[in-house]
Amino acid sequence: MFNKRAVIPVFFLLVIAIVLGMYRPALAGKPTIAPQCKQCHQSAPDVIRGTFAGFSEKFKSLQVATGSLVWVIKYGDDLKISGDEKLSAISMEKEVAVRFTGGDKHPYAVNISIKPPAKVPPERLVSVNEMVKLTALGPEKGSYLLIDARSPQKYKEGHLPYAVSMPFERFEKYKDKTLPKEKDKLIIFYCYDMTCQLCPAAAHKTEELGYTKVKIFHAGMTGWEKSGNLVVSEPAYLKDLIEKDIAHILIDLRDSHEAQKEFIAGAVSIPMKDLAASKGKFPPDLSAPVILYSSDGSEEAFKIVRGWGYEETSALRGGLAAWKQAGGQVATGKLDTVISYVPKPRPGEVSIEEFKELVKNGAKDKVILDVRDVEETANGMLKGAINVPTSQIKDRLSEIPKDKEIIVHCATGIRAEMAHDDLVDSGYNTRFLNAVILINKDGQYEIIKK
């Protein structure tokens, strides 16, 4: 039977604990751990685990994303950094753990730790040199299956030759159609870098299914690129660049006479025999995405262009044939021979300068929409901005004026673009800020271009 007398003292103890600050719910539901970190860690009340999203020396604050929420955490000269010498050395999206004091409303960073390399037994590792030899042989001669465990978008943008995509989060869905029937076939997993836990986790799941030769390319995509090895992009990536009108350089390496018969619309003709002497034709902007294609592979061309410093260089998998199979547009006739590259903002992106002007002086025909979560805005909001979290946009359209241009921002630009897309679909005139922005209690802010 339910004992009321036993409950009353417990209730009063709880009230006393709340008053004294001894009890508080798990940070009021604010996630302190990113989904990918849950593979190896449990949430803790004084530790935030997620991806590094930036920092500000001016405001003495750093940002860590735990999924859709971005924490803004104050720090001081007493901040201890484990795994790097200083905050500026931590790359964006690096997995970190921040130990803090002050509670969830006023978190103060005591220590930030950069995720160390995943522990993998030496006998299960595949080195960069071994991976180079295997890709040179190809999966048939080398008798292996190479699996990219990263997100589908990252795979599209660039992957190792012959790799197939099987994102770790979709392992159960794709395992039957991706994994081979032969249980003794060599299977190699890779992800981002040595700190990534996706590979060990995917390898463990694969072994549980009875596969006996499962290995890990520990250096991952980062190590592969640093070594200057061939990066292959998917036709879907080129389609994205074209459809979203994102500036890029597409080079047809075939003989000009062959290329004129049929080529990918928008390509510039630089035959392979002329490429090494054509550095002067390329723009000075080394961040330009460069995609190369030919009839018989583009590895030599890739190494030439990448050697010039163009880090976003890739070879189009399957060349023209794969492009056509994917439904890509082709053309005939004379190709351009001059590269015309003009960097463009993403569709709907507002410039940082215009955004600052709007914050400073306002505008009768514009409204700033802050799409961060309510917990994030508690750290500070821009003067005059309205707040509707990204996840609630479609349910709260009545709060967003339709007779004005909506300028959207979040903490990093990612959710702002998502909200922008939702608003466009709903008939709004809108643009978004594609940058990291830090805001303090007084509405002062700092913008850091990604």
Regarding whether 359 and 405 lie in a shared domain, the answer is: yes
**pLDDT tens for each residue of 179-196:** 999 999 999 999 988 877
Please tell me the total count of domains within the chain: 4
**pLDDT tens for each residue of 324-361:** 999 999 999 999 999 999 887 788 999 999 999 999 99
Query: Is residue 446 packed enough to be buried (19+ CB in 10 Å), middle (13-18) or exposed (0-12)?
Result: middle
Place of tokens 């940002």: 63
Regarding whether 371 and 276 lie in a shared domain, the answer is: no
**pLDDT category of residue 272 using cuts at 50, 70 and 90:** very high
Regarding whether 130 and 110 lie in a shared domain, the answer is: no
| 8 Å CB contact between 119 and 197 | no
**Angstrom distance (rounded) from CA 264 to CA 16:** 72
More confident residue, 218 or 119: 218
Catalytic residue among 191, 196, 199, 410: 410
**pLDDT category of residue 450 using cuts at 50, 70 and 90:** low
- Residue 174 sits in a domain whose CATH number is 3.40.250.10
pLDDT recorded at residue 6: 38
Range of the domain at 169: 122-226
**Angstrom distance (rounded) from CA 385 to CA 364:** 13
The structure's pTM equals 0.70
Per the domain annotation, does 3 fall within a domain? no
Query: Is residue 328 packed enough to be buried (19+ CB in 10 Å), middle (13-18) or exposed (0-12)?
Result: middle
Residue 27 φ then ψ, to 5°: 50, 40
Regarding whether 127 and 110 lie in a shared domain, the answer is: no
| Maximal C-alpha separation, the chain | 93
Regarding whether 254 and 201 lie in a shared domain, the answer is: no
Active site residue 199: no
Mean pLDDT of 47-71: 86
Final residue belonging to a domain, choices 96, 114, 132: 114
**Angstrom distance (rounded) from CA 373 to CA 67:** 11
Q: How many CA atoms lie within 13 A of 414 on its CB side?
A: 9
Final residue belonging to a domain, choices 331, 361, 386: 331
Final residue belonging to a domain, choices 267, 296, 331: 331
